[in-house]
Amino acid sequence: MSTTAQLSSFVAAAALCALAHWAFLAMLTHLRNWWSPPPRLVARAVLNFLATVVLVATLSPGTGSQFGALTAVLLSLLGLVVAAPALDCKPHAKRAFLEWLARHNRVLGLALLVPFAVVAVVLANAPFAGVVSAAFALEIIWFLRSRRRAPARYLQLTHADIRVLEAIADGEIQAFSRRHGIHELLRTKDGRWLWRACDDTTPCPLNYYLTRLGLNTPPCCRSRLRDLTLSVSSALEAAGATYWLDGGTLLGAHRDGGELLAWEDDGDLGVLLDQKLNWDTLVAQVQKCGAEQGYHVEILTDKRYLTVSTDPPRKGWLRLLRNRMRGELRLDLVPYWRTSGVRPSMLARATPKVGLLPTADGFALPERLVLPTAAISFCGQTVASPRHPEAYLKLMYGQIAKPELMYVDPRAAGKRAHLIGDA
């Protein structure tokens, strides 16, 4: 094979590998939200995967099928590493190996590629080298993206945070933190426990600390989650939208004196779609808020669902890198609309929730529980809530005095359930 042909095959394979990576990252948007990806995204990812394998097999001289198989193995293993944080987001999942992959996701991709790079160099296979080179470049970008941190800033844990930490760690906090790689935790010489605050680019790995270990939300994340929720609610109010606190955010405001739940990892708002505010207008308003405040807005049109996160907005492929993160702070904005031909009047949403009634329009609840909205105190400010918040929450969760710790592994939940105000 001529030098020109080798270079062409190298570039073509590298380009296809990058496209396969892009398609795979797009799929993770849904997995991170605990949903199955739509068929079109799955098909696109599979086709890009197969195209890369076939190209390497076709362009490789002599033993092309072997290099095609090697490419398939490489992309499959790398795909597992890339997807691990998204797959591990689901609460109560019991997958120790997947958890280990998610914890070490920043460096595992690079480590995995080393033996494949050796094979590509030793055997001098241009198309396979193109795949490995592209994968290396993508993993280096991810490593640099995830490694970047702001200067250290430490916050003191509250008494409630420490009580939960002591209960989960059986009193052996330092040993517990070493065992689970909690690098943010610091003990001062005078015995105080401090937490290294996260920043906009590298949030605390919330899903690990909350879902797996059962700790309280870190103090940095609590503060940023309050700001995010209040910012989006203010934007909706300024736009004249009918909105209300929803889900766990409403539960905390109603049950815990206007504060966040101790284990909360996201904000929840509901918003009414009507003649005044349709889906397109809502998307435009939220995107405007995101651009002004420096938030990333993710639009899942097929789910009629928006998320707003503290990860700064980015263009093109770079925005998909965030799908490899876990623990980002986000607000889920769920549109509701009036169902047609149903009496009494109901409000429906596209995504299911325990307690909501399946209908032809989606998953519904009685309108009278929500509208007209009332006011509730939340983090020192007054925001909108359903008309009957307690009835609304009982429909959503059943028992609200001591609801299930949804974001905590059952083993950890059992250890902390006796703590007053933490369960």
User: What pLDDT, on the 0 to 100 scale, is given for residue 93?
Assistant: 61
User: What pLDDT, on the 0 to 100 scale, is given for residue 397?
Assistant: 83
pLDDT at 138 over 60: yes
Dihedral sign for Cα 22, 26, 29, 30, please: negative
Top-confidence residue, 301 or 375: 375
Q: Tell me what the pLDDT averaged over the chain comes to.
A: 87
Question: How many angstroms separate the most distant Cα atoms in the chain?
Answer: 75
User: What pLDDT, on the 0 to 100 scale, is given for residue 311?
Assistant: 79
Instruction: Give which of 392, 393, 390 is closest to 404, Cα–Cα.
Output: 393
Residue 238: pLDDT band by 50, 70, 90 thresholds?
confident
Residue 91: pLDDT band by 50, 70, 90 thresholds?
low
Residue 94: pLDDT band by 50, 70, 90 thresholds?
low
Top-confidence residue, 72 or 214: 72
pLDDT at 16 over 50: yes
DSSP class of 199: -
The model's pLDDT over 333-344, given as tens digits with 9 standing for 90+, comes to 999 999 876 667
Mean pLDDT is lowest, of 156-165, 290-299, 403-412, for 403-412
Helix, strand or coil, per DSSP, at residue 331: strand
pLDDT at 141 over 60: yes
User: What pLDDT, on the 0 to 100 scale, is given for residue 55?
Assistant: 92
The DSSP string of 73-102 is: HHHHHHHHHHHHHHHTTSTT---HHHHHHH
- Rg of the chain taking only CA atoms, in angstroms: 24
User: What percentage of residues in the chain have a pLDDT greater than 70?
Assistant: 95
Rounded to an integer, the average pLDDT of 290-295 is 88
Half-sphere exposure at residue 38, Cβ-oriented, CA atoms within 13 angstroms: 8
Residue 59: pLDDT band by 50, 70, 90 thresholds?
confident
User: What pLDDT, on the 0 to 100 scale, is given for residue 423?
Assistant: 45
User: What pLDDT, on the 0 to 100 scale, is given for residue 317?
Assistant: 72
User: What pLDDT, on the 0 to 100 scale, is given for residue 202?
Assistant: 67
**Assigned token pair, 336:** 């509701």
Top-confidence residue, 155 or 146: 155
d(C-alpha 138, C-alpha 108), whole Å: 13
**Which parts of 246-388 are beta strand (E)?**
266-273, 296-300, 305-309, 330-338, 346-349, 357-359, 362-366, 374-378, 381-385
Rounded to an integer, the average pLDDT of 383-387 is 96
The model's pLDDT over 310-335, given as tens digits with 9 standing for 90+, comes to 877 777 777 888 888 876 788 999 99
pLDDT at 123 over 50: yes
pLDDT at 92 over 70: no
pLDDT at 399 over 80: no
Instruction: Give which of 148, 121, 129, 152 is closest to 60, Cα–Cα.
Output: 129
Top-confidence residue, 217 or 60: 217
Half-sphere exposure at residue 373, Cβ-oriented, CA atoms within 13 angstroms: 19
Exposed / middle / buried, residue 370 (Cβ in 10 Å: 0-12, 13-18, 19+)? buried
Residue ranges of domains in the chain, CATH in brackets: 3-147 (no CATH), 154-208 (no CATH), 219-416 (3.30.460.40)
Residue 172: pLDDT band by 50, 70, 90 thresholds?
very high
Residue 370: pLDDT band by 50, 70, 90 thresholds?
very high
pTM here is 0.85
The model's pLDDT over 188-220, given as tens digits with 9 standing for 90+, comes to 988 889 999 987 666 777 777 887 888 999 999
Residue 359: pLDDT band by 50, 70, 90 thresholds?
confident
Instruction: Give which of 351, 333, 249, 339 is closest to 285, Cα–Cα.
Output: 333
d(C-alpha 255, C-alpha 250), whole Å: 8
Cβ atoms of 79 and 24 within 8 Å: the answer is: yes
Residue 33: pLDDT band by 50, 70, 90 thresholds?
confident
273 Cβ contact list (under 8 Å, min separation 6): 279, 282, 335, 336, 337
Instruction: Give which of 381, 355, 385 is closest to 372, Cα–Cα.
Output: 385
Instruction: Give which of 111, 207, 118, 123 is closest to 407, Cα–Cα.
Output: 207
d(C-alpha 121, C-alpha 166), whole Å: 51
